[in-house]
Structure 1
Amino acid sequence: MEILTNYVRAALSAGIIDEWHVWDFTRSEEDRVWVSENFGPARFMHPDTPYNPAGEVTALSPFRMDAGIGGDLHLALLPKNDPNFFYEFVVGGWDNQLSAVRKLARSELATFNRDTAPRIAEFSTPGILSPSLPNPVAMAIDRNGHPVLTVNGMKIGPITEINLSGGADVMVRGGWGADLEILNVNDKVRRYIGPRNEKYPYHHTYAYYSKHANRFQDAIFMKCDDDIVYMNLERLSDFIAFRRDNPTPFLVSANVVNNGVCAHWQQRSGSLPIEVGHFEMPPGGLNGSLWESGNRANALHDYFLQTPDKRMPLVQPVVEVKERVSINFISWLGQDLKHFGFRRLGDEKALAVDMPRLLNRPVAIYSDFVVSHLSFGPQEAELHVDRLVSAYGDLMRLQLAA
């Protein structure tokens, strides 16, 4: 993903794309730390997300945010002069009826069980959080060092049992079934934190954009796998322009190296010689001999890396396909988000088969925009991962330096 990151940041710097939304579906703590350290502030958090850093509050500077949440907003204040404890403000808890303050050990930042935690203070705050409008939140420290929280114009505090005269770091999360969206996070690179340890969590992404379809009505979306290791940035603008100007295809795919359907069309056009291997059309576009063989993927990657111009032209500039296409790098229009309200379906089948069939709209492959996809799961046992990643890293540095 470090290779992909360099390509995307170059596209952002060049003004080719406007935003990068990095969805965190990591399954290991090591990966979570790496993603959180490398990809922007968190904009969205699934309810089971632990506290994430959001800013700080000092005697001179309040902490502010606009929270999209209908209940159970949690703020953690970590005093800068006390490394052992933190103070938890629960806003709109207990069915948006009460708000409370607790003192907890720092080890509890990663936990959710509060059944026995005593409350320093409790307030009746019926309806304090709006489920449909931004909730302005301001945490300040008064002249006596006590925290004062204001949400939607309703004041909680000062909490005289707490002294924060030295300032505090602020962390936030949702909880108890409540997503949290920090609406004033508008950085070009933003992190969206999905659920943990869910085997196929990707439908949460589409559910989010479908829920906010009005916001993204005029957007052009591009979705790519995290193991895209080459991207022809010179043709990315052309790909986006084609997507914008041709609304008929439901999806438009890049011309992907190591994608069964694309490999078949690459070979039919003469871009992929038979000496590299025979690349049949996978039955119905699903799986196939390339998908299951790391050795065939090695040969395909090696051939592509050796091609001088990194082009794999198809039989025509745009190829419409009826088969299922692996969605390694695809684009859709924001105006089509009204069709994305599916839930726990496999996203590839829903996007590349079910919705095009229902709407009687094709899926297209755009020949001139070439990307390379490192691997499918069944390929990984035989794939020369380290050697190929090193070669693609060298190619990336050469391309971006040109």
Structure 2
Amino acid sequence: MAPVILVTFAGRQKRMEILTRYIHSAMDAGIIDEWHVWDFTRSQQDHEWVTREFGPVRYMGSAAPYQSNGSIAPNQALRLGATITNDLHLAIVPNDGSDDYFELVVGGWSNSHSVLRKLPLSQLRSFDRNDVPALWSRPTPGILSPGTANQIVINVDAAGVPSLHVNNVAIGHWPELDLSAGASVMVRGGWGADLELGNVRSRIQRFVGNPNEQMPYWQAYDYYAKRLKIFSDSIFLKCDDDIVYMDLEKLSDFIEFRRTNPKYIVVSANVVNNGVCAHWQQVAGSIPVGVGHFERPPGGFGGSLWQSAERANELHDYFLQTNDKHLPLPSKVIEWTERQSINFIAWLGKDLVHMALPKGDDERALTVDLPLLLDRPTAIYSDFTVSHLSFGPQEQGLALDRLIDAYDELMRNALAA
């Protein structure tokens, strides 16, 4: 059976904690095989939470900062499988209380040289290395292979002296360094080189995108599209980090519909607080007129719900008081040819051949541009319901704390049932 991979662009802690419980339950039930959590956080506090909460780092963009990756000690080596073309950076942070760390750059300068530097800990988050002298340097032409996961081994002998081997070649040995107290090791790429760590086998994996991009999500689609051969047999789910309700009993049906209906480029869940879904929910009589009027958003984008905290509050409150937590659409499947919000969608791995998306608006690309190019519609699947907490324009005035508490209680009751 095709593996099911959930992709989530993370992550705001308070909102995502509810989703996390649902996904762990789905994974325990064998419905979801892997969870790929892409760190596109915008605050240091959220980044630290995502780092603590979600598996080992699998992939890092070339501009991503150092990420922890293990430790070394006398007679305790660290082994990595690193897919990277140049500029593999290894930060060795001694456990002796020093204010400095050692930085190994393997295959720098277009994969021609390697160096060792000593730097203050304050520079761990900085990429500026101007005027920093090297403790050690040597030519290492072609040391990193672009065609394999490079085998990196950092060893510390009984006397605390570290050494480095790359693809079974001895690169350096530094008797002047004393790591007898051990050290933690951090990794990153750099200078246009993304880094993938092939020895990560956890079912939940972290992917760290390049920071400070206004619309960074293309990085995730680009990653999967470049690995089409690996993922072509998979089924992908993608959900926002603020999905606060999920009908787990219907998730398998949604996945099966996605698998057996290849004509749709993407299939959306039936989403609470989604302009297009709300319109069809009301057409079907699932949302009474007294809750508000939910018009068909022009071209599928924006609309009064998207921009109104008051309307979102009313819709969430109505949904939370329903008995069956389901707002059916007029039919089991709504075929759609306009834009729609991609709060919870699914696509087939084989369609990654079309999904090396340009930088910019991934939602428009997936629900407008690609369907038009390929002459394949999108669809909304009525029987699988999720609830999406908020859109950006709804933030001012949304009863966030009250709603999060209510959805948290709903989640606990649903998972305990």
TM-score range, shorter chain: over 0.9
Any idea what the Cα deviations from partners look like across 1:208-259, whole Å, max 9, x if unmatched?
Answer: 1111111101111111111111000111111111111111100000000000
1:9 and 2:24 matched: yes
Match of 1:166 among 160, 171, 181: 181
Match of 2:228 among 207, 213, 217: 213
Q: 1:260 Cα shift?
A: 0.6
Q: 1:282 aligns to what?
A: 297
The 3-state SS of whatever aligns with 1:396 is helix
Any idea what the Cα deviations from partners look like across 1:298-356, whole Å, max 9, x if unmatched?
Answer: 11111100000111111111111122110000000000001011211310000001101
The normalised TM-score by structure 2 is: 0.94
Match of 2:385 among 333, 357, 370: 370
1:193 and 2:208 matched: yes
**Contact kept? 2:36, 2:205, Cα under 8 Å:** yes
Any idea what the Cα deviations from partners look like across 1:149-171, whole Å, max 9, x if unmatched?
Answer: 11112211211221212221111
Q: Which amino acid aligns with 1:306?
A: Q
Q: 1:144 Cα shift?
A: 3.4
Q: 1:100 aligns to what?
A: 115
**Contact kept? 2:59, 2:196, Cα under 8 Å:** yes
Q: 1:202 aligns to what?
A: 217
Q: Which amino acid aligns with 1:70?
A: T
Q: 1:107 Cα shift?
A: 1.4
The 3-state SS of whatever aligns with 2:173 is coil
The 3-state SS of whatever aligns with 1:149 is strand
Q: 1:232 aligns to what?
A: 247
1:316 and 2:316 matched: no
The 3-state SS of whatever aligns with 1:303 is helix
Aligned counterparts, 1:29-178, within 5 A: 29-178=44-193
Q: 1:272 Cα shift?
A: 1.1
Q: 2:37 aligns to what?
A: 22
> How much identity, in percent, do the aligned residues show?
57
Q: 1:145 Cα shift?
A: 2.2
Q: 1:183 aligns to what?
A: 198
The 3-state SS of whatever aligns with 1:11 is helix
Any idea what the Cα deviations from partners look like across 1:243-284, whole Å, max 9, x if unmatched?
Answer: 111111000000000001101111111111111111111111
Match of 2:307 among 289, 292, 300: 292
Q: 2:320 aligns to what?
A: 305
Distance 2:405 2:415 in 1: 15
Distance 1:212 1:83 in 2: 41
Match of 1:259 among 261, 271, 274: 274
Distance 1:395 1:84 in 2: 48
**Contact kept? 2:74, 2:159, Cα under 8 Å:** no
Q: 1:394 aligns to what?
A: 409
RMSD: 1.1
Gaps of 5+ in 2: 1-15
Distance 2:250 2:101 in 1: 50
The normalised TM-score by structure 1 is: 0.98
Distance 2:161 2:138 in 1: 16
Q: Which amino acid aligns with 1:371?
A: V
Q: Which amino acid aligns with 2:345?
A: I
Q: 2:8 aligns to what?
A: none
Distance 2:400 2:376 in 1: 37
**Contact kept? 2:73, 2:160, Cα under 8 Å:** no
The 3-state SS of whatever aligns with 2:252 is helix
Q: 1:83 Cα shift?
A: 2.9
1:329 and 2:310 matched: no
Q: 1:247 aligns to what?
A: 262
**Contact kept? 1:253, 1:331, Cα under 8 Å:** yes
**Contact kept? 1:120, 1:161, Cα under 8 Å:** no
Distance 1:166 1:284 in 2: 63
Question: Structure 1 residues 141-150 or 291-300, which shifts more?
Answer: 141-150
Distance 1:204 1:135 in 2: 23
